[in-house]
Amino acid sequence: MNVKHTTREPGKYKGDMLAYFVYQEDRKMPVCEDIYVQDGIKPAFRAGDFSGREGETLLLYPVGQQKPPAKRILVVGLGKKENSSGKNGADEPDVWREKYRKAGGTVSRTALKTRAEKIMVVVPAPIVLEPEATVECLTEGLLLGAYQFKKYKKSRKEDDLPQGEIREVLLFVAKAAKPLVAGLKRGRIAATAGCSARDMANEPGNVWTPVRFADFGRKLAKKYGFSCRVLSKTDMQRLKMGGILGVNSGSAQPPKMVILQYKTADRNPTLMLVGKGLTFDSGGISLKPPKGMEEMKFDMCGGAAVMGAMQAIGEEKPKGLNVVAVVPATENLPGPSALKPGDIITIYGGKTVEVINTDAEGRLILADALAYGIKQFKPKAVVDLATLTGAVVIGLGHHRTGLLSNDDDLAAKVAAAGDRCGEPLWRLPLGAEYSKQIDSQVADIKNVGDRAAGTITAAAFLQEFVGETPWAHLDIAGTAYNFTDKPYAPKNGPSGIGVRTLLELVRGWRK
Ligand code: BES
Ligand code: MN
Ligand code: ZN
């Protein structure tokens, strides 16, 4: 699907759906610039069916002599114009960015439901934001909201008719000013990359194996001129990466560690992104219960987010910084040579780990990636993303990503980036008390503490491998899939979370 801008008059649009946005007024009828649409709103408002509340929709089917040629007209409410700031960090512009994203998603959802393929969207006069930000966020919402994964759904039973598919979206703007077109492009880049991450995650574990991460990395490198190195099992053995090798030892699929480099200039700072690419997590010998285990194909969402962010970076080519991406990828299965509780392994760089629970595998593969990446690339800052703990779902639910960091400035930057793009985070503490929970009797550390503060002790484990480098850890176990229900994020399945936070972080790096 494509989103383009146009200055062609909406009143003459012949497509399947024409979408307008209206603000809610104080007990008065919402106002639409198009007289025909206004006439349609009137009876609905009088009947009490439509007042322009946020997310409210009104679908009109043009009739009469003066009717516009579009097959359907959709009116979407944007809610009231007044101040809406002060909610847990997100400021007023952030709140409005999210409103337009959701509004775009609502248009796409309605189009899918009604099987409208060609739509025109009339960009509203923005409140608070610049027009280009409105276009950016609407575009994001439209594209993310139009996302579907139907690849393996071939049967077409009568009662199981798949939704339609949106083929073309035209954004109507009165004048195609440069910043506006740039806003559209930014939105398109962010959303397309988010959809790539969703695609990777939606693939089943028997398809999206570690080698697929390597293939994807090489494809990006070729397309955007990144350098790409894929560490094989023998490379890992030579480098003594006992974490990823240990986790991989029960699996028939070889492990991969994909390293991509976006380089501007040596003098520029390097940001390192690390993503957990666990393509299926059975728990290993500490086997998980069967119920819901199929969802553990999503245990690679951190890796998918990092790959998605690199795709966006390749499209956008930001100036002033270098970016290195590291995705350690493997399965965690209970094969005959699998890691066992009580085993002691050595992470890259020499720290030893007593494995208490083979299901705490993410931190083992990330430890190798963090230690190796920091040694190799000496980044100014590191951000890792991982579906790391069930505990974060208990603590924050499906609405916020857990954020843990050894650096207040970096943590604030990441949290602000998340607020700006509708992927909110919440910071949890680190500290010596928590680190003490992973002291081992027989090795340097052990891979689990006790049940208490599971998200924090997992991060405390990772902290052992970052030294003094400013580092932020994003625990996305609650948000990578079955995220908050929003018009532009699927209720079930992967959200693509992290892609836009990372992109936003990169975009604002120098500010
Ligand atoms: N991939 C899981 C974490 C997870 C749980 C992600 C639920 C998404 C939803 C991780 O590898 C894991 O199994 N963590 C264990 C750690 C425990 C053994 C200390 C957990 O959270 O139960
Ligand atoms: Mn696990
Ligand atoms: Zn896992």
Which amino acid is it at 459? Answer: A
Rounded-to-integer distance, Cα 474 and Cα 480, Å = 11
Ligand 1 atom closest to the CA of 480, numbered from 1? 8
Ligand 1 atom closest to the CA of 357, numbered from 1? 18
Ligand 1 atom closest to the CA of 298, numbered from 1? 8
pLDDT of residue 397: 98
pLDDT at 190 exceeding the cut of 70: yes
pTM for this predicted structure:
0.97
CA dihedral 167, 171, 172, 174 (to 10 degrees): -150
pLDDT of residue 82: 83
Is residue 60 within 6 Å of ligand 1 at its C-beta?
A: no
Mean pLDDT calculated for residue range 315-320: 97
CA of 297 to the centre of ligand 3 (A): 9
Residues marked active site are found at: 288, 363
Task: Considering every ligand atom shown, identify the ligand nearest to the alpha carbon of residue 294 and give its number.
Answer: 1
| CA atoms 123, 129, 132, 136: torsion sign | negative
CA of 338 to the centre of ligand 3 (A): 15
Task: Considering every ligand atom shown, identify the ligand nearest to the alpha carbon of residue 437 and give its number.
Answer: 1
pLDDT in tens, 494-503: 999 999 999 9
Is residue 301 within 6 Å of ligand 1 at its C-beta?
A: no
Phi, psi of 180 (to 5 degrees): -65, -45
CB 337 within 8 A of CB 252: no
pLDDT of residue 163: 84
pLDDT of residue 161: 63
Rounded-to-integer distance, Cα 443 and Cα 155, Å = 54
Q: Minimal CA–CA distance to 347: which of 367, 374, 361, 329?
A: 367
Q: Minimal CA–CA distance to 329: which of 285, 299, 374?
A: 299
pLDDT at 459 exceeding the cut of 60: yes
Task: Tell me the two tokens of residue 495.
Answer: 């959200």
Is residue 387 within 6 Å of ligand 1 at its C-beta?
A: yes
pLDDT in tens, 41-54: 999 999 999 999 99
Helix axis angle, 301-316 relative to 499-507, nearest 10°? 40
CB 182 within 8 A of CB 294: no
Is residue 281 within 6 Å of ligand 1 at its C-beta?
A: yes
pLDDT in tens, 151-189: 998 776 655 666 899 999 999 999 989 999 999 999 999
Is residue 366 within 6 Å of ligand 1 at its C-beta?
A: no
pLDDT of residue 153: 87
pLDDT of residue 290: 98
Rounded-to-integer distance, Cα 23 and Cα 45, Å = 13
Q: Minimal CA–CA distance to 106: which of 149, 162, 146?
A: 146
Which amino acid is it at 368? Answer: D
pLDDT of residue 1: 87
Is residue 477 within 6 Å of ligand 1 at its C-beta?
A: yes
pLDDT of residue 85: 63
66 compared with 335, residue with greater pLDDT: 335
pLDDT in tens, 411-420: 999 999 999 9
Which amino acid is it at 175? Answer: K
Task: Tell me the two tokens of residue 476.
Answer: 């996305």
**Lowest mean pLDDT, pick from 88-102, 201-215, 312-326:** 88-102
CA of 365 to the centre of ligand 3 (A): 10
Is residue 402 within 6 Å of ligand 1 at its C-beta?
A: no
pLDDT at 86 exceeding the cut of 70: no
Mean pLDDT calculated for residue range 213-239: 98
pLDDT of residue 90: 75
CB 4 within 8 A of CB 139: no
CA of 153 to the centre of ligand 3 (A): 27
- Residues with Cβ within 8 Å of residue 444, at least 6 apart in sequence: 351, 352, 353, 464
Ligand 1 atom closest to the CA of 391, numbered from 1? 21
Task: Considering every ligand atom shown, identify the ligand nearest to the alpha carbon of residue 330 and give its number.
Answer: 3
Phi, psi of 419 (to 5 degrees): -60, -40
Instruction: Give Cα 331 to chain centroid, integer Å.
Output: 22
pLDDT of residue 252: 98
How far the first Cα of the chain sits from its last, in Å, is: 33
Q: Minimal CA–CA distance to 472: which of 426, 438, 511?
A: 426
Is residue 331 within 6 Å of ligand 1 at its C-beta?
A: no
Q: Minimal CA–CA distance to 119: which of 84, 156, 82, 171?
A: 171
CB 386 within 8 A of CB 302: yes
Q: Give nearest CA residue, ligand 1 atom 13.
A: 359
Rounded-to-integer distance, Cα 382 and Cα 270, Å = 9
CB atoms within 10 A of CB 62: 16
Question: 3-class SS at 235?
Answer: helix
Is residue 390 within 6 Å of ligand 1 at its C-beta?
A: yes
The dihedral region occupied by 9, where left means phi > 0, alpha psi between -120 and 50, and beta the remainder, is: beta
The dihedral region occupied by 203, where left means phi > 0, alpha psi between -120 and 50, and beta the remainder, is: beta
Rounded-to-integer distance, Cα 384 and Cα 202, Å = 21
Q: Give nearest CA residue, ligand 1 atom 5.
A: 390
- Angstrom distances, CA of residue 439 to CA of 355, 356, 389, 455, 464: 12, 12, 19, 16, 11
Rounded-to-integer distance, Cα 109 and Cα 169, Å = 13
CA of 281 to the centre of ligand 1 (A): 9
What is the radius of gyration, based on Cα positions, of the chain?
A: 24
pLDDT at 87 exceeding the cut of 80: no
pLDDT in tens, 117-140: 999 999 998 889 999 999 999 999
CA of 309 to the centre of ligand 2 (A): 24
Task: Tell me the two tokens of residue 106.
Answer: 């609502």
pLDDT in tens, 405-441: 999 999 999 999 999 999 999 999 999 999 999 999 9
